[in-house]
Amino acid sequence: MKANIKQIESTNQPKPFVKWIGGKRSIINELLQRLPKQINNYYEPFVGGGALFFEIYNTVNHSYLSDLNVDLIVTYNTIKSEPKKLIELLSKHKKNHDEEGYYYKIRAMQNLKDPVENSARFIYLMKTCFNGLYRVNKNNEFNTPIGSYKDPNICDKKNILAVTQALKYATIKYQDFTKITPQRGDFVYFDPPYHPTSEDSFTKYLSTGFSEKDQTRLRDFALELIKSGVNVMISNSDAEFIIDIYKKNFNINRVSAPRVVNCKSDKRQSVYEILIRNF
Ligand SMILES: C[S@@+](CC[C@H](N)C(=O)[O-])C[C@H]1O[C@@H](n2cnc3c(N)ncnc32)[C@H](O)[C@@H]1O
């Protein structure tokens, strides 16, 4: 019943408000086909752009979204509670974007105190930066250069308002993935930074900040949840190490995912990734 009410309230289908590295829109159907039949509450503790959340939020009771990217979490909370002020600030960014040096002026404004201004800055930079890539330096300062877009959609008012509707039924937190507390009947989708495959370079491995120890910590945490009646699904790369740590206790499916494999030529190629489930 509740799901129907939610469907009526949200006339526009919300979608991720920023493009996120590792975003799941390209394999969304593979995920949707493999969900549990019944979900009470939904948890997405590596939320990123939240592609799966936006597909299923209106079929579950409540959603719990979290991540360790503070700008992202502040922005989810701003869209939930102050969408109008955010839209106003974004339209100003849109107007000023053509001014020379505006991108770099906004990029230099690190640590804005006001959360709404901070969120507007974050969305503006993500929509206009090179490849939509969130990258920070050692001091946690955003340092991606400007991208070359003809007409970036800096102020997508319609989608922001649709996201506000979807977030009415969500709790959003800045926290490590092990801090969630789902109960029997709930469903958790884990989409951690992927383990490198043999084709990935060593640099890429270091830059994810998610080590083999973290991958094992995630597996152990998933095993604990399963014992208490929670259903879990985990995405990862088709890497030997990952298959090894999950093969004993989980079902593993390979799915084909289109990826940009060569940033110079923007060449797309399908690579396999895996979906790990207890059900
Ligand atoms: C692959 S991305 C998630 C992509 C997302 N599912 C989507 O569709 O856009 C991984 C996310 O994990 C977050 N992250 C990294 N380490 C974490 C941790 N220990 N706990 C929670 N989130 C973490 C990163 O900030 C990043 O947003």
The 10 Å Cβ neighbour count of residue 229 is 11
Question: Which ligand 1 atom lies nearest to the CA of residue 22?
Answer: 1
- Under the banding of pLDDT at 50, 70 and 90, the label for residue 8 is very low
The answer to whether 112 and 120 are in contact (CB under 8 A) is no
63-91: average pLDDT: 97
- Report how far apart, in Å, the C-alpha atoms of 228 and of each of 90, 121, 186, 221 are: 44, 41, 10, 11
End-to-end CA distance of the chain: 26
Sign of the CA dihedral with 215 first, then 216, 219, and 224 last: negative
More confident residue, 8 or 216: 216
- Rounded-to-integer distance, Cα 222 and Cα 9, Å: 34
pLDDT score of 257: 86
- Rounded-to-integer distance, Cα 233 and Cα 220, Å: 14
Residue 256 bridge partners (DSSP) = 272
The residue whose C-alpha atom lies closest to atom 27 belonging to ligand 1 is 48
Q: Long-range contacts made by residues 95-102, C-beta under 8 angstroms, separation at least 24?
A: 97/124, 97/128, 97/152, 97/154
Which residue do the tokens 């740590």 mark? 245
Establish whether residue 71 lines the binding site of ligand 1, counting it when its CB lies within 6 angstroms of any ligand atom.
no
pLDDT score of 123: 98
This prediction has a pTM of 0.91
| DSSP conformational letter for 25 | G
Establish whether residue 221 lines the binding site of ligand 1, counting it when its CB lies within 6 angstroms of any ligand atom.
no
The answer to whether 22 and 44 are in contact (CB under 8 A) is no
Q: What percent of the chain has pLDDT over 70?
A: 88
- Under the banding of pLDDT at 50, 70 and 90, the label for residue 258 is confident
- Rounded-to-integer distance, Cα 88 and Cα 81, Å: 14
Class of domain 75-161: mainly alpha
pLDDT at 210 over 60: yes
Establish whether residue 69 lines the binding site of ligand 1, counting it when its CB lies within 6 angstroms of any ligand atom.
yes
Sequence spans of domains, the chain: 2-69+167-277, 75-161
Query: Tens digit of pLDDT for each residue in 132-163?
Result: 888 988 888 999 999 999 899 999 999 999 99
193-216: average pLDDT: 74
Average pLDDT, the chain: 90
Q: Long-range contacts made by residues 129-134, C-beta under 8 angstroms, separation at least 24?
A: 129/103, 131/263, 132/18, 132/19, 132/20, 132/21, 133/21, 134/20, 134/21, 134/69, 134/71, 134/72
Q: Which fold, 2-69+167-277?
A: Rossmann fold (3.40.50)
pLDDT at 97 over 90: yes
Establish whether residue 177 lines the binding site of ligand 1, counting it when its CB lies within 6 angstroms of any ligand atom.
yes
pLDDT score of 268: 60
